[in-house]
Structures are given as structure tokens and as C-alpha cells.
Amino acid sequence: MFALLLFGACDDIVRDNVLDPKNPNSFRPQVVTVEAFVNTGHPSPYSGYLLAALDSLQTMFGARIVIAEHHRPVTGNTYNDNLVLDDSELLYDKYFTAVNEGNKGIPDVYINGIGERIQGASSVSSVLFRLQNVLQPLISENSSFTIEPDVSRSGNDIILKSTVARLGSDSAINFKLRAMLLEDIDGDSNKRVVRKIIYSNIVPQLSAGEVTSVYIGTVSENYQGKLTALFFLTSQNDTEVYQAIAESVQ
């Protein structure tokens, strides 16, 4: 649908269509990002409680949210979690420094970048309740961006691109795209594991109604599980997420 709106004949577009980038009142529903920082090698059950709650959230909210599971070390020790990713730790440090409150730890959840933070999970029901309360108002919000992902393969190379449109009546400046490859490793507690994070160059400006294509990067890896690519449109410093979309990697 997005491609048809962008590239179809202009005479065929109804200008009061809220999906039309040339309509100054256009918008897209906000897709809320939920990034969970966990360690499944840790002997405590708390990350497990959170991961079970995220399964319920995905069922409740469907495509209105995207969920990523970052594995990070605990107090300098991986606790036998071989899914720890250095780039996830770097992103966690960005978020933690920008929020500038509380302590580091797992599990820790950031929503829409540093928009909201929920730390800890004493039980599945308690953390699910807390997450629902935060997400419920966010999923009714709109975004002034829309993203059309472009994922292709060439041998073991996964090429990640995206088309981005600026909606509404205002320009956007200094944003970029972050792509993350998620692997479903066991279909259970490790089904949305972040395996790779890559970033596009900064887009200095996108005028209202303008559409641009962005090359994010190429990943050369041989993953065994089912892959999903998440595309986040973020601020220059990567701490605010404006829009997101998930795309299966075939």
C-alpha cells in the first residue's frame, strides 16, 4: 500500500488521504518499540518473568509493538549467557546515560528509546501489569514518519535498506535508521534475540512530504534460526525512537 501511494500517478491520489506524504495532515500509527535487556544465564528467574510477559504483550498488541531482546552481561560476568552482544551493551549505556537515574541491572526495559523505562520483574503478572499501563496510551499515538523496509539476500549477505517518508507539515532533521537482526533460537525463552545492530548515516533533512531511500548496511553472517529485521527510525544520538517496523528475513 505504501509503495502504491508513493509511486502511483499523482492524479490518482486523494489528497485528504492520511497516508499520502503530500497531505500536510498525514500520519501513520505509531509502532511502539520495546527493548528488553536480559541475561538468561543468570541464576535468578527475573529475566524469565519478563520474557514471559513480553510474549503476552505481543499477543495483546500485535503489530502495534516491536520487541527486541538484548542479552547483556551482569556485573562484568556473562553468567554463561553466550548470547551477550557487545553492541547491545553499548546501546544500553547510551540509554542509561541519557536517562541519568537509577542503577544498571537486569531485566531492564526501555520503550521508544528512553521514552519510558521499566526495571525489574518480581513476577510475570506484576511486570505485565506495569508494561501494559505504559504501553496502552502509547499505541494510540501517531507518527509523522512511515518506513518501508527493503531486505534482500545475496548468498550469506543480508542487505538492509529502507524507504522513509516524512508525513505531516514539518521537516525532520538529523535522524538515522537503526537495523537489528533478531534470531528465534529456541522458540521459547530466546525467540527475539538481538544478533546484530547496524546504523545508517545521518539523514540531515527530510522535508514534509518528501520520500528518501536509505542504505543501512550489509550483514554477512550464517544464522541457523528464523530471522526478523527490525527497523528503527531514531534521533541522531540513537536515544529517541520515532517509528519502527518489523520484516521477516527470507
Instruction: Supply the pLDDT for residue 25.
Output: 63
Q: What is the pLDDT of residue 1?
A: 40
Closest CA to 110 of 122, 125, 126, 94: 94
Q: Are 200 and 214 in contact (CB under 8 A)?
A: yes
Please list the residue range(s) of the chain that carry CATH number 2.60.40.10.
Answer: 143-249
CATH for 29-138 is 3.40.30.10
Per-residue pLDDT of the chain (250 residues; tens, 9 = 90+): 444 334 333 333 334 454 566 676 678 899 999 999 999 988 889 999 999 999 999 999 999 999 999 999 987 676 789 999 999 999 999 999 999 989 999 999 999 999 999 999 999 999 999 999 999 999 999 999 999 999 999 988 999 999 999 998 899 999 999 999 999 998 888 999 999 999 999 999 999 989 999 999 999 988 989 999 999 999 999 999 999 999 999 8
Please give the pLDDT value at position 2: 44
| pLDDT given for residue 21 in this prediction | 65
pTM of the predicted model as reported, rounded to 2 decimal places: 0.89
Amino acid 80: pLDDT = 81
Top-tier CATH class for 143-249:
mainly beta
DSSP string, the chain: -HHHHHHS-GGG--TT-TT-TTSTT--EEPPEEEEEEE-TTSSSSHHHHHHHHHHHHHHHHGGGEEEEEEE--BTTB-TT-TT--HHHHHHHHHHHHHH--S---SSEEEETBTTEEEE--SSHHHHHHHHHHHHHHHTT-EESEEEEEEEEEETTEEEEEEEEEE-SSS-EEEEEEEEEEEEESSSSSSSSEEEEEEEPPPEEEE-TT-EEEEEEEEEE----SEEEEEEEEEETTS-BEEEEEEEEE-
Partnered with residue 163 across adjacent β-strands are 148, 213
Residue ranges of the chain that CATH labels 3.40.30.10: 29-138
